[in-house]
Amino acid sequence: MLRVENIETAYGPVRALAGVSFEVDQGKITAVLGANGAGKTSLLRTLSGLVRPRSGRVVLEDQVISGMPVERIVRLGMAQVPEGRGVIAELSVEENLRLGGLWRKDGSREDLDRMYELFPPLAERRGKPANTLSGGERQMLAVGRALMARPRLLLLDEPSLGLAPRVAAQIMALLRRLRDETGLTVLLVEQNAKSALSVADHGIVLNLGRIVAQDAPDRLAADEKLRHAYLGF
């Protein structure tokens, strides 16, 4: 589905990614793990087109997307839930949701109703400004908004950050459900390795801009040295 080939991303002289390569399989949840500063957010910003890699390529279903403008990449079926949940505080819940599917010519009322079905708390607050939502509800809104684009690949940046463990678990369960029911492909970037590995099909561990391990989740979790050094549990 998505192939990342040896990308290197830098902000001025600071190198954030030093040659990262991996693949995201169709219909699977891939988790990218690592501590603060490991390069997780830089990786997502590079994939979504907000930052251009200095070298290397990103290929989405046989189409090279590195170097394309963000808005075009979105239209190719890759949606992103930005870090810090990124709901637009001044807009209402419904406006936030509609925004996600606005570029689609065939966007419809049904998409909106589907999201309210998926996230009942949002339906109750559809007219309210997004800044009146709780942290968990905001995360739901951010996910729902990305789903409005009917993506084939969904990127999530630290969805469990700042959420109560129970709420974070709900979000992870939702991702699993979306994968099982709709065949959605997910790339999940998380600092909370335990929670991410609980739903992932494949795990990638990033440290200082390099991949230090990639394997099945249970094998990563079983590696004590790796767990202590990079995963923090």
Taking CB under 8 A as the criterion, the residue among 27, 56, 129, 135 binding other proteins is 129
Between 54 and 75, CB nearer to other proteins: 75
Piece in contact with other proteins (CB under 8 A), picked from 13-21, 68-76, 115-123, 221-229:
68-76
Taking CB under 8 A as the criterion, the residue among 55, 63, 131, 182 binding other proteins is 131
> Does 99 participate in binding other proteins (rule CB under 8 A)?
yes
Piece in contact with other proteins (CB under 8 A), picked from 83-91, 118-126, 174-182, 192-200:
83-91
> Does 74 participate in binding other proteins (rule CB under 8 A)?
yes
Calpha distance 31→17 (Å, rounded): 17
Between 24 and 154, CB nearer to other proteins: 154
CB of 230 to other proteins, least distance (A): 28
Helix (H, G, I), strand (E, B) or coil at 118: helix
**What are 199's two structure tokens?**
């739903």
Query: 157: exposed, middle or buried (C-beta count within 10 Å: 0-12, 13-18, 19+)?
Result: buried
> Does 103 participate in binding other proteins (rule CB under 8 A)?
yes
Cα dihedral value 165, 166, 171, 172, nearest 10:
70
Residues numbered 20-59 forming contacts with other proteins, rule: CB under 8 A: 48, 50
Taking CB under 8 A as the criterion, the residue among 149, 189, 196, 211 binding other proteins is 149
Piece in contact with other proteins (CB under 8 A), picked from 23-31, 60-68, 95-103, 208-216:
95-103
Helix (H, G, I), strand (E, B) or coil at 201: coil
> Does 91 participate in binding other proteins (rule CB under 8 A)?
yes
> Does 115 participate in binding other proteins (rule CB under 8 A)?
no
Buried b (16+ CB within 10 A) or exposed e, 183-192: ebbbbbbbbb
Query: 110: exposed, middle or buried (C-beta count within 10 Å: 0-12, 13-18, 19+)?
Result: exposed
CB of 211 to other proteins, least distance (A): 24
Taking CB under 8 A as the criterion, the residue among 102, 164, 216, 222 binding other proteins is 102
Calpha distance 112→228 (Å, rounded): 43
**What are 33's two structure tokens?**
């793990």
Piece in contact with other proteins (CB under 8 A), picked from 56-64, 91-99, 175-183, 224-232:
91-99
Tell which residue, 62, 63, 42, has the closest CA to residue 54.
Answer: 42
Q: In the sheet where 63-64 sits, what is the strand order?
A: 14-24, 2-11, 55-60, 63-64
Residues of the shown chain interacting with other proteins in the complex, contacts defined by CB under 8 A: 48, 50, 70-71, 74-75, 79-80, 82, 86, 88-91, 95, 98-100, 102-103, 129, 131, 145-146, 149
